[in-house]
Amino acid sequence: MSSLAQSNEIPAPVADDVATDGHHPEGAHAVPKRILLGVFAMLCVLTVVTVAVSYIPLGPANIWVALFVAVIKGGLVVMYFMHLRWDSPFNGMVLISAMFFVALFIGIAMLDSKEYQPNLEKPEMVQQFSAADTGGGAGGAQTTSLMPLDTMTSIINSDPSAKDPHINTLKYDDVVAAAEKGPGDPKLGMALFQKQGCVTCHTLSKDDPPRAPCLVDVTVRHPDPGYIFESILHPSAKIADGFATNLFVLKDRTVLQGFLVSEGEDTFKIRDTNGVVTTIPKSMILKHRQLAQSIMPEGLGDNLTVHDLASIYAFLDSLNKTAIAER
């Protein structure tokens, strides 16, 4: 009777906070709540550290810091939540051996990836050089100032047609017909060409490094003024040969776009409007397509008047004739 009663005896409840060495009398591991809460708090702190470090540019050290923090977090979970601290020493040796081999495999993988680093890291994967490498100015871009700022402002403010209706309030055909009649003011056209930002992308001399289309002889190549007006007001209507916008999405989700310079067996070369040429290995391209839209945005001429448009044409036409006085 006594033995039966003893076999049905209910074990005494485990205290909320064990003050002994953590062993339950019957072999269970009763970890004190204060330890479990402390470990949980430490895991939360380490998680915050992991996220915070990701915003600090440490270069290659970022991955090592992340791995180090991950090892500490994993060790805390295994030691306290999985009770390895109180388990057999053999199990501890198995865990340490497993972690060693994981670290070994990661190290070998990183050493192996270094051999293929040009295909993995963006600074090597996408090589850029400016037109300065072929004799252009710094950064491959010409100056973006045709005249002093105060001179440009004075010319534009003194234009008597400044109060005329803007182009975006008029019908396109009426604008073109009126602008073709002119006459435009070449000096005003130069000032507007600078103010509107056209000079940032377009070159005005064949000696300048190539960027967007060179306009020095544009009215000779396209004698119809309507073509020039359309190119200004609707740049995507007709895109000049060689200046279609090519869009590349790389495997690391980087997006690049520019004019196609050349296509080799393994690479593409594109040039942006600053004259910077970028070499892109085909092995790193996720998507590539040619856009129907010009790289020149729509609406740049919306705030111009008809006289402004005619003046820009007069300026472009003067580039291949006589120089503008005091240019």
CATH number assigned to the domain comprising residue 221: 1.10.760
Query: What burial class does residue 190 get, using C-beta atoms within 10 Å of its C-beta: 0-12 exposed, 13-18 middle, 19+ buried?
Result: buried
**Residues 306, 181 share a domain:** yes
Quick one: average pLDDT of 12-38?
Answer: 60
**Residues 314, 193 share a domain:** yes
**Residues 97, 38 share a domain:** yes
Q: Which pLDDT score is estimated for 111?
A: 66
Q: Within a domain: residue 130?
A: no
What is the span of the domain harbouring residue 181?
A: 146-240+297-318
**Tally of structural domains, the chain:** 2
Sheet holding 285-290, edge to edge: 127-129, 277-281, 267-271, 255-263, 245-250, 285-290
Q: Indicate whether 196 pLDDT > 60.
A: yes
**Residues 229, 303 share a domain:** yes
More confident residue, 7 or 49: 49
Find all residues with CB under 8 Å of 130, minimum gap 6, and list them.
Answer: 136, 138, 139, 140, 209, 274, 275, 276, 277
Q: Indicate whether 13 pLDDT > 60.
A: no
- In this structure, are strands 277-281 and 127-129 parallel, antiparallel, or unpaired? antiparallel
Percent of the chain predicted with pLDDT > 90: 2
Q: How far apart are the first and last CA of the chain?
A: 119
CA atoms within 13 A of residue 123's CA, in its CB half-sphere: 1
Q: Indicate whether 10 pLDDT > 80.
A: no
pLDDT in tens, 141-187: 444 567 888 888 888 888 888 888 888 888 989 888 988 887 888 89
